[in-house]
Amino acid sequence: MSENNSIIKVRGLVKKYNGVEAVRGVSFDVYSGEIFGFLGPNGAGKTTTINILCTLLGYDSGSVAVNGFDCRKSSHEVRSSIGLVFQEITLDNQLTAYENLKFHSYMYNMERKTTKIRIEELLEVVGLTARRNDLVREFSGGMKRRLEVARGLLHRPKVLFLDEPTLGLDPQTRKHVWSFIEKTRKKFGNTVFMTTHYMEEADVCGRVAIIDNGKIIACDSPEELKKSMKGETIYLKTADNERAARELKEKFKLEAKVIDGGLSFNVAGGEKFIPRLFEGMGVEINSISLKRPSLEDVFIHLTGREIREETASPRSRTRGPGGPRGMGRGRG
Amino acid sequence: MFSYKAVYVIVMREFKRFFRQRGRFIVSMVRPLIWLFIVGAGFTKIIDVGEGADYIQFILPGIVGMTILFSSIFSTISVVWDREFGFLREMLVAPVSRVTIVVGKLLSGTALAVFQGTLLLFIAPILGLDVGVTDFLAMIFLMTMLALAITALGLFVAPFLTSLEGFNVIMNFIVLPMFFLSGALFPISAIPRAIRFLSFINPLSYGVDSFKHVLLPAGGRLTPEMPIVLDIAVIAVFAIIMTFSAAIVFDKKK
Ligand SMILES: Nc1ncnc2c1ncn2[C@@H]1O[C@H](COP(=O)(O)OP(=O)(O)OP(=O)(O)O)[C@@H](O)[C@H]1O
Ligand SMILES: [Mg+2]
């Protein structure tokens, strides 16, 4: 895909809050029809960037264009080209699902006839036809989310923005929401710009930009990003990590990082490497696990830390060899 | 871009919400009745207002004013509420101008207030006040003016309130004094001289006074205190200034 195919064009974007830079010189393109993901930890500047793209927020320098319109000069045209699902729920609880959609159709000056057909169609797609006349107040989190995505698509926007669309949903519902974001994109051919801090979700994206601390540190397809990792990640717990790290360096020429009381390093042909490791190491190995590189590993590799420090520590990957993500899985 | 359709749907939404919030609807209907038939009836027994009108009749214009005041100010909540619950962003990101949203909120706040004020007017005959068709139409006009002015004031204040807590402060330090100082319950001339200027900068005073012109029989001690032309002029100017201020502030602060 080429540059002239880009539907979002951001160059040198800087946004300051009270003098502190939240977005620090970000540039990227989103191509027409793709799913583009913004991946980053809390406070990275994802929402800030989305709000700027949606003309809800001004910026300090750089240039931002959506669908060929400048976000500052032609905010009206930009707003006509986009649909938006915010990080927080923004439905009216005291209206029904149908009324929320109808409100939207009036705000976007849609024709009465097409509105009716499209509302029915979208309610069907998101599986809420039976609940159309229920107050949104009575909906579960997942249902609200689905309704919001339907609303975001109602006026057939060129670009659908999704700010953490699956935040706070259980894994099953998250999958569900994704499957029909995919489904609707195939059906309507809109571009999707989404943010998430669930690394595994970014796999649905055609391309992802990894953003940290207001800067894009990598931008490519998930496959390419993972390939750049070379080999597999091995996570090791030993009786003496310091000595183990030294031995790894001396005997195998491997640089290990200390993460959460264990060692982590990348090695090509990881499965074959493990037996050699057991032979060669003088330190007692308590547990070991091997993982194909995920986007999370890419993130750790690029930043030297985990995306969600508090929740996803390596501990969850290494409940001993029998653990859910233990040794056996690497071969699968 | 200004959009009539958007204004229409914003107004419709506010009406739907109003009727769905049972509690709010009932409170807004019962509060004026409490004032009239408990406070008003009680004081009627002990206050001799001379010939012309009974005390309970005298306060009807003030209670209509209060109903409009409370109802209009409620549109402030509706903006703060929409912001707290995120719905405001759904409106802000739509391809309509900010002015559209302000106008929608202004009209819905005004219409709801006039609607409630009108219901109250039907009590007038029970109190022995004679309200003819012309009086009724004049009241609708005057109530609309006052409701516009106060709703605009509410919309002007709303962007400065960062939470619903702020609204309590407004209620106690602005709305209640506005009511008590408006001449609704006793003539402005009875208010201590030192704070009487507060009555004169209070838009509600002019609204209530204009209602008295229409609703109260001439004579007695409890008649209007200002010329009706002045009442209308002050409210109109206030409404216009507040509407523009609200639109500007709303655009700046969201
Ligand atoms: N209104 C604001 N005023 C001041 N600082 C802000 C404001 N909004 C965001 N920030 C700061 O800007 C930075 C980026 O915030 P942003 O909300 O864009 O992050 P995010 O990537 O969306 O995070 P999350 O995953 O938590 O949603 C943070 O450091 C935040 O504290
Ligand atoms: Mg965010």
Number of folded domains that form chain A: 2
Tens-digit pLDDT string for chain A (332 aa)? 455 689 999 999 999 999 999 999 999 999 999 999 998 888 899 999 999 999 999 999 999 999 999 999 999 999 999 999 998 999 999 999 999 999 999 999 999 999 999 999 889 888 899 999 999 999 998 899 889 989 998 999 999 999 988 877 778 878 877 887 888 888 888 999 999 878 778 888 999 999 999 999 999 998 888 887 777 888 888 888 888 888 888 888 888 888 778 888 888 877 888 888 888 888 888 888 888 888 887 887 787 776 654 443 333 333 333 333 333 333 32
Residues A75 and A8 occupy one common structural domain: yes
Q: Is the ipTM of this complex over 0.85?
A: yes
In a domain, A26, yes or no: yes
Of A56, A92, A95, the CB nearest to B93: A56
What are B55-72's pLDDT values in tens digits?
888 889 999 999 999 999
pLDDT at B205: 96
In a domain, A32, yes or no: yes
Contacts (Cβ under 8 Å, ≥6 apart) of B98: B92, B247, B250, B251, B254
Q: Would you give the distance in Å from CA A288 to the centre of its chain?
A: 29
Judge whether B109 and B69 are in contact, CB under 8 Å: no
**How many Å apart are CA B91 and CA B119, to the nearest integer?**
31
Per-residue pLDDT reduced to its tens digit, A6-26: 999 999 999 999 999 999 999
Residues A73, A192 within the same domain: yes
Q: How many C-beta atoms surround the C-beta of residue A293 within 10 A?
A: 20
| CB nearest B93 (choices: A77, A79, A94) | A79
What pLDDT, on a 0 to 100 scale, did the predictor assign at position A165? 86
Q: Give the per-residue pLDDT at B220.
A: 61
Residue A227 token pair: 């390939």
For residue A110, the cross-strand partners are none
- Give yes or no: residues A233 and A218 share one domain: no
**C-beta of A278 in contact with ligand 1 (< 6 A):** no
Q: Answer whether residue A53 is part of any domain.
A: yes
User: Is residue A126, in this structure, part of any structural domain at all?
Assistant: no
List helix spans (H) across A126-158.
141-154
State which of A169, A189, A222 marks the end of a domain: A222
Locate tokens 């929740």: which residue?
A: A311
**pLDDT value of position A47:** 93
pLDDT for A323: 33
CA dihedral in degrees (A27, A32, A33, A34; nearest 10)?
Answer: -20
CA atoms within 13 A on the CB side of B91: 30
B244 — pLDDT class (breaks 50, 70, 90)? very high
Print burial letters for B148-175: b (CB count within 10 Å at least 16), e (below 16): bbbbbbbbbbbbebeeeeebeebeeeeb
**Tokens standing for residue A139:** 């909906």
Q: Clarify whether residues A159 and A78 are in a common domain.
A: yes
CB spacing of B95 vs A84 below 8 angstroms: no
Residue from A17, A198, A212, A310 whose mutation best tests the ligand 1 pocket (most atoms within 8 A of CB): A17
In whole angstroms, what is the distance from residue A225 CA to residue B27 CA?
A: 61
Please name the residue whose Cα sits nearest to atom 7 of ligand 1. A17
Domain boundary (A199, A222, A245) is at A222
Structure tokens at A298: 């890419």
CA-nearest of A73, A63, A79 to A26 is A63
> In what side-by-side order are the strands of the sheet with A61-66?
A20-31, A6-17, A61-66, A69-70
Q: Is the pLDDT reported for residue B136 higher than 90?
A: yes
Three-state DSSP class for residue A195: strand
Per-residue pLDDT, B254: 58
Ligand nearest to the CA of A22: 1
**Around Cβ A307, how many Cβ atoms within 10 Å?**
21
Residues A264 and A160 in one domain: no
**Do A160 and A212 share a structural domain?**
yes
Q: Specify whether the CB–CB gap between B113 and B150 falls below 8 A.
A: yes
* A199 and A259 part of one domain: no
- pLDDT (mean) for B1-22: 92
Q: Quick one: CA dihedral A99, A101, A103, A105, positive or negative?
A: negative
Residues A247 and A280 in one domain: yes
* Residue range B183-201, pLDDT digits in tens: 999 888 889 999 999 999 9
Per the domain annotation, does A36 fall within a domain?
yes
Amino acid code (one letter) for B237: V
What range defines the domain where residue A238 resides?
229-303
Give the helix/strand (H/E) hosting B209. helix B203-215
CA–CA dist B119, A20 (Å, integer) = 54
Mean pLDDT of B108-134: 91
B142 against B188, higher pLDDT: B142
The answer on pLDDT for B31 being more than 50 is: yes
Closest-CA residue to B117 (of B138, B134, B92, B103) = B138
What 8-state DSSP symbol labels residue A284?
P
Residue A131's Cβ-count burial label (10 Å; 0-12, 13-18, 19+) is middle
Distance CA B22, CA B57 (A): 29
User: What is the C-alpha R_g of chain B?
Assistant: 18
Residues of chain B with pLDDT > 90: what percent?
A: 56
CB proximity under 8 Å: B 71-130 to A:
85-87, 89-97
CA A135 – CA A128 distance, rounded (Å)? 12
Mark B94-120 as b/e (b = at least 16 C-beta within 10 Å): bbbbebbbbbbbbbbbbbbbbbbbeeb
DSSP reduced 3-state for A220: strand
